[in-house]
Amino acid sequence: MTTHFRLTPRGLIGAGMRFPCSIGRGGITDKKREGDGATPVGLHHVAMTFYRPDRMKSPAPWAIPIRPRDHWCDESGHPDYNHLVTSPFAASAEAMRRADSLYDIVVVLDWNWPDAVPGRGSAIFLHRWRRPGTPTEGCIAFAPGHLRWIAPRAVPGTRLLLH
């Protein structure tokens, strides 16, 4: 049975569970743009999951190990915009293998992916939060234990409704 999740003002709800979460500093929007810090409203689907193999075992059989040179392109208009790339990479891209633990597990949503529209926003992930209530750059962030519970249930194609 596939789990479906929905994001409400009370947190992420799915499989009879509720998880507090942090959203983008720009709130939830239906006019998402690159760099606005907002979390896009709508029906999204899990595209893939990444994890840090040097820090943990795979959270799910389909999870992809994050390699040291993995980055996520956030340069609007670049052919690899909103896709995984490998450094060295000449365009703007965010490191997936971070010194902190925010991206030890990364569940990628299909926002503006795989056919990215320039400027519409990139890298909408479910990942670990810095601290409870600390806003993200547009992602949805959770306590580490909650993210470890969510990741194996968020199979590719899982629906996530943000409203």
Which bin fits 103, alpha (ψ -120 to 50), beta or left (φ > 0)?
A: alpha
Digit-by-digit pLDDT tens for the chain (163 residues) are: 567 899 887 799 988 899 999 999 999 999 999 999 999 999 999 999 999 999 999 999 999 999 999 999 999 999 999 999 999 999 999 999 999 999 999 999 999 999 999 999 999 999 999 999 999 999 999 999 999 999 999 999 999 999 8
Tell me phi and psi for residue 116, to 5 degrees: -75, 135
Measured distance CA(13)–CA(154) in Å, rounded: 12
Query: CA separation (Å) from 77 to 81, 119, 121?
Result: 7, 7, 11
Q: 42-51 and 70-73 as β-strands: parallel, antiparallel, unpaired?
A: unpaired
Which domains, from first to last, does the chain contain? 5-162 (2.40.440)
